[in-house]
Amino acid sequence: EAGVAQSPRYKIIEKRQSVAFWCNPISGHATLYWYQQILGQGPKLLIQFQNNGVVDDSQLPKDRFSAERLKGVDSTLKIQPAKLEDSAVYLCASSLGANRGTDTQYFGPGTRLTVL
Amino acid sequence: AQTVTQSQPEMSVQEAETVTLSCTYDTSESDYYLFWYKQPPSRQMILVIRQEAYKQQNATENRFSVNFQKAAKSFSLKISDSQLGDAAMYFCAYRSNSGNTPLVFGKGTRLSVIA
């Protein structure tokens, strides 16, 4: 079974530029998560999708971050314009979407973003 | 809001020895799950072990076991017979059982294994 795929693995941009990350979840997984992991910290949820609908985006800085999940499969996360503090690893995870804590989340390898 | 605290930024262990990583959490809920995830340098988060709060028996997965103290809100991970491949960041995480909720992570503990 193929895992969660993410691209690119690394991205370096200058502040005020825009950037986009892509995630392909495990086939059949209804729930998709984007986490931000700043160096030295644990991942923090940015947005959660259930199929193509947003479940939770309360911690997404909506003035600069946007995300979509067209057709309930792949997802893209965009930052425009980027700030220095956006430097982090962006992790995508997916799960079957069962309404219980036993619903295991599987993570992708992440995209390391450096903003100069 | 739930919080997860890992008070040990770094730990080290000799190969073949046992090490315990600490985790405490804060919640007002009674039904939840706790997890330990491993994150090697490749950055891919891997589920190590999971504990259901309503189960008194501590979870075990091969060389990995937990000490779950619900009243104390403590959830430590014990790694027995440590191997070089165990070297990684370890994250403790909490998840409510009420609905399809995300994980809440601690800041992590970096484990080094000395040959």
pLDDT tens by residue, A10-56 = 999 999 999 999 999 999 999 999 999 999 899 999 999 998 899 99
How far does the CA of residue B115 sit from the closest CA of chain A (Å)? 25
Contact B102 A101 (CB under 8 A): no
Tell me the C-alpha distance between A93 and A113, whole Å: 17
| Residue appearing with tokens 């601690």 | B106
How far does the CA of residue B18 sit from the closest CA of chain A (Å)? 24
What's the token pair of residue B8?
Answer: 């040990």
Query: Chain B residues with CB inside 8 Å of A43's CB?
Result: 45, 91, 103, 105
Query: Chain A residues with CB inside 8 Å of B110's CB?
Result: none
Q: Which of A45, A55, A91 sits opposite B100 (nearest CB)?
A: A55
What pLDDT, on the 0 to 100 scale, is given for residue B98? 76
Q: Which of B46, B96, B108 sits opposite A42 (nearest CB)?
A: B108
Burial class for A39, CB neighbours closer than 10 Å (0-12, 13-18, 19+): exposed
Contact A42 B91 (CB under 8 A): yes
Contact A104 B101 (CB under 8 A): no
Nearest C-alpha neighbor of B88 from the set B70, B67, B64: B64
pLDDT in tens, A90-113: 999 999 876 666 788 999 999 999
Tens digits of pLDDT across chain B (115 residues): 789 999 999 999 999 999 999 999 999 988 899 999 999 988 889 999 999 998 889 999 999 999 999 999 999 999 999 999 999 999 999 998 876 778 999 999 999 999 9
Q: Which residues of A62-101 are buried (b: 16+ CB within 10 A; e: fewer)?
A: eeebbbebeeebebebebeebeeebbbbbbbbbbbbeeeb
A-B Cβ pairs (cutoff 8 Å, strict): 62
Contact B45 A107 (CB under 8 A): yes
Q: Which of B42, B47, B105 sits opposite A43 (nearest CB)?
A: B105
Tell me the C-alpha distance between B71 and B31, whole Å: 13
Q: Is any Cβ of chain A less than 8 angstroms from the Cβ of B43?
A: yes
